[in-house]
Amino acid sequence: MLRELCALGLLAISVAEQVPFESPQNSDRYEFKWPIKDVAIIGAGVSGLLAYRALAEKDHFSKIKIFERDDAPGGNWHYSDETPQSIPIELGDTPEWWKGDFVPHLPEHYPFRKQYRVSSNETSKEELEKARISHRQPKPLWKTLRANTPAPQQQVPGYEWPKGVEWASHHSKVQRYLRSFASWLGINNGDDELDERVSYNTRVELVEKRFDENGKQQGWILTLRKFVRNDEGYEESYWQEYFDAVVVAAGRFNIPHIPPIEGLVDWQKRFPERIIHSRQYRFGGSVEGKNVIVVGASASAAGISQDINSFAKTSYLSIREHSDDPRAPVRRDTHLNALPRNTTIIGEIKKFHPLSDGPDIAEGRIELLNGSIITGIDHLIFGTGFRYSFPFLPQYHNSSVKGNAPVDSEEQPIVTDGSHVRSLYLDTFYIDQPTLAFQGQNVGIQTFVYGKYAGEAIARVWAGQAHLPSKKDQWRHFWRTVEERGGLKKGFQWLNNELNSRYLNLFVAWLNAAAVENGGKLLELPPDVSEEMDLWMKARAAGVSIDPDGRNDFASRSLETDVLDHHQWRKAVLDDW
């Protein structure tokens, strides 16, 4: 106890010296307008599981329930061979960009149930199966993918990996690890009494405010949908449930982003199976003997380039010359250093020339920014990232907001334009109505660790064991954060190693100060895995160099000059997957 209190004091001093952080304990308190007893969690990935654990450990709540659109826990770590459908590229530049995930469908009455019987018409069965797959949304994993963060760091605090597990774990082991954690919590699929605690195969179609007879908000209404196979074919059902508060733990790999390069829409319409996003990629054998361009310079693009290397006839990687954003938590070189030497780096694609009437995509001409023309390409795989989207919060989307538009009033129903998430206090609580909270939206964090402390903040605030500052002070903090991070734009959610540590220290200092004042369990500091991380970084650096004549035309130095730069390597290994 003495050690924890000393750590609390040191952290409080440390945090007090750091701008823009202020202790929420030292300002006017936000008062919730209704008691928070029933809580919904959207998503059963690691963030949702950690939110559930934090809430379930409190005696305060009457009902805690997770809704997961997939049929098992694990979020992005739940692999299957099933692939999602292509995203129409033309949606990306329109106000309807968010429809790339799903468009909520609402029946005229609740509850609603409809049975679809599979006829002898195979087209009907195929369409129903596509609808089921779209409902569960297969995750962006490929068959051979391994974690790019070592197991000692990618570990739920208080729930250790088995002894002897390899650090670069195959995705199947990460999936089993998270399933076992869900079982420990009693919410794995197949556990008893699931209906009360978790509902799998359930997509949240709509989250809307619930009002009392006087027109005052008293919580939230969730409209829910299932679409599952059964003995008679497929069953679709809708119903509604009421909650006092909602945790959005739906992840940040929502809508694939494919840049609207001139001519690409027409190419996709002609050859939809030859132009895919990394979310759809599964096997290297799918491009065996083909000429392939992978587009992108981050984790997915580099990983897929490695995976297809022994299968593809020719493997190109197209990257933008100025794609190495200095604000990014992970350097571009970190990903490019691992490419096989026979991967050919090419520059940015400028244009896809109009296709002839021929039956083969390989006849098409692809023009690079430097004027070069490439032909003979059989497949294009875009590892160009994702856009934030919450289709179940349609009133909180706004694709027209640009830059640092000022807040005209305290009513600010905007969360995302696809490039970032805004209007949140500490990237967690929705300031306009803090009974809506977000988990796991930052980039650069180690979700398995960070999620514990963000989840504890949500649980303790809603249980009355810690307090938020006034709405005015929350907005003031938010706009100071906007200024510190360079504006409301792509990268706003990025936390480098320093910011990640500062936020974790803030959570610990704030929640422990509240625990001392109100009574409650003190949080320990995040686990120290610096020794393991040093070993991991050295292993990744060993024997790796850049060959400017081979696979990285833009390299200006050898990685050998960076091997001893541990500070840079520590930044490079943060979770960017």
For residue 542, the model assigns a pLDDT of: 53
State the average pLDDT over residues 407-413: 45
State the average pLDDT over residues 147-152: 87
Same-domain check for residues 481 and 395: yes
Residue 348 inside a domain? The answer is: yes
Give the tokens for residue 26. Answer: 């030292």
Residue 501 inside a domain? The answer is: yes
SS3 call for 233: strand
Same-domain check for residues 208 and 310: no
State the average pLDDT over residues 194-210: 93
Give the tokens for residue 186. Answer: 């009693």
| Residue 440 exposed, middle or buried by CB count within 10 Å (0-12, 13-18, 19+) | buried
Same-domain check for residues 378 and 496: no
For residue 321, the model assigns a pLDDT of: 78
For residue 248, the model assigns a pLDDT of: 98
Residue 401's pLDDT band (cuts 50, 70, 90): very low
For residue 327, the model assigns a pLDDT of: 65
Q: Which amino acid, 483? A: E
Same-domain check for residues 251 and 262: no
- State the chain's mean pLDDT as an integer: 84
**Cβ 556 vs Cβ 569: under 8 Å:** no
The answer for residues whose C-beta is within 8 angstroms of residue 286's C-beta and 6 or more apart is none
Q: How far apart are CA 497 and CA 258, in angstroms?
A: 28
End residue of a domain, out of 363, 384, 405:
384
For residue 121, the model assigns a pLDDT of: 65
Q: Tell me, what CATH number does 102's domain have?
A: 3.50.50.60
Q: How far apart are CA 525 and CA 456, in angstroms?
A: 13
Of 337-341, 385-389, 419-423, 479-483, the poorest mean pLDDT is in: 337-341
State the average pLDDT over residues 247-275: 93
Please check the confidence at residue 569 and state whether its pLDDT lies above 50.
no
Same-domain check for residues 102 and 229: yes
Residue 13 inside a domain? The answer is: no
For residue 409, the model assigns a pLDDT of: 38
For residue 336, the model assigns a pLDDT of: 73
Residue 567 inside a domain? The answer is: no
Same-domain check for residues 363 and 415: no
Please check the confidence at residue 13 and state whether its pLDDT lies above 80.
no
State the average pLDDT over residues 472-500: 92
Q: Where are the alpha helices (DSSP H) in 186-229?
A: 194-197
DSSP for 10-50, written as a single string:
HHHHHHHTSTT---GGGSPBP--SS---EEEEE--SHHHHH
For residue 554, the model assigns a pLDDT of: 29
Closest CA to 21 of 347, 410, 426: 426
Same-domain check for residues 146 and 273: no
Residue 455's pLDDT band (cuts 50, 70, 90): very high
Residue 31 inside a domain? The answer is: no
Helix axes 2-16, 497-518, angle to 10 degrees: 120
Closest CA to 459 of 18, 52, 30: 52
pLDDT tens sequence across 51-92: 999 999 999 999 999 999 999 999 999 999 999 988 888 888
For residue 334, the model assigns a pLDDT of: 66
Of 108-112, 331-335, 361-365, the poorest mean pLDDT is in: 331-335
The domain in which residue 224 lies consists of 38-255+391-527
Largest CA distance in the chain: 77
Q: How many domains does the chain have?
A: 2
Residue 262's pLDDT band (cuts 50, 70, 90): very high
Same-domain check for residues 292 and 416: no
**Cβ 235 vs Cβ 116: under 8 Å:** yes
Residue 4 inside a domain? The answer is: no
State the average pLDDT over residues 293-304: 91
Q: How far apart are CA 252 and CA 48, in angstroms?
A: 13
ω into residue 548 within 30 of 0, thus cis? no
The answer for residues whose C-beta is within 8 angstroms of residue 200's C-beta and 6 or more apart is 44, 68, 70, 71, 72, 189, 194
Of 123-127, 258-262, 316-320, 321-325, the poorest mean pLDDT is in: 321-325
Residue 536 inside a domain? The answer is: no
